[in-house]
């Protein structure tokens, strides 16, 4: 059984750490069915009923980012938000990206 990414904590990447291979990333991506692997990133676009819901989501995502000390790129529109994770310190994907993506997805199960 795969580990529960929603209960994991992000870890600081050691100097010289390597990014995940495509195979390692794809194995973790199985746990995030609505996310796509796009080169050195993972991404998902969330859709909402209105701007208020969009901004509430953005603020909740910012709170998760602060707690995990791992920050996505966000593209915010009136009824949508695109979330993109990558780990700049390794030049690609790390497990931290998948942990945060799972925690952001969990906002919809609360």
Structural domains of the chain in order of their starting residue, each with its CATH number: 25-109 (3.30.1360.20)
pLDDT at 3: 67
pLDDT in tens, the chain (110 residues): 356 899 999 999 887 889 999 999 999 999 999 999 999 999 999 999 999 999 999 999 999 999 999 999 999 999 999 999 999 999 999 999 999 999 999 987 65
The pLDDT score that the predictor gives to residue 24 is 95
Whether 80 and 48 have beta carbons less than 8 Å apart is answered as yes
pTM of this prediction? 0.93
Contact present, 48 and 57 (Cβ < 8 Å): yes
Helix axes 22-29, 95-106, angle to 10 degrees: 20
Phi, psi dihedral angles at 85 (to 5 degrees): -110, 140
């Amino acid at each position: 059984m795969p580990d529960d990414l929603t209960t994991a904590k992000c870890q600081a990447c050691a100097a010289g750490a390597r990014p995940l291979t495509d195979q390692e990333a794809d194995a973790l991506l199985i746990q995030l069915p609505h996310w796509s692997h796009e080169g050195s990133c993972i991404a998902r676009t969330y859709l909402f009923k209105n701007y208020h819901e969009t901004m509430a989501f953005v603020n909740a995502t910012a709170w998760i980012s602060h707690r995990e000390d791992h920050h996505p790129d966000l593209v915010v529109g009136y009824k949508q938000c695109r979330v993109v994770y990558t780990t700049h310190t390794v030049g690609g994907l790390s497990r931290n990206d998948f942990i945060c993506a799972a925690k952001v997805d969990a906002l919809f199960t609360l």
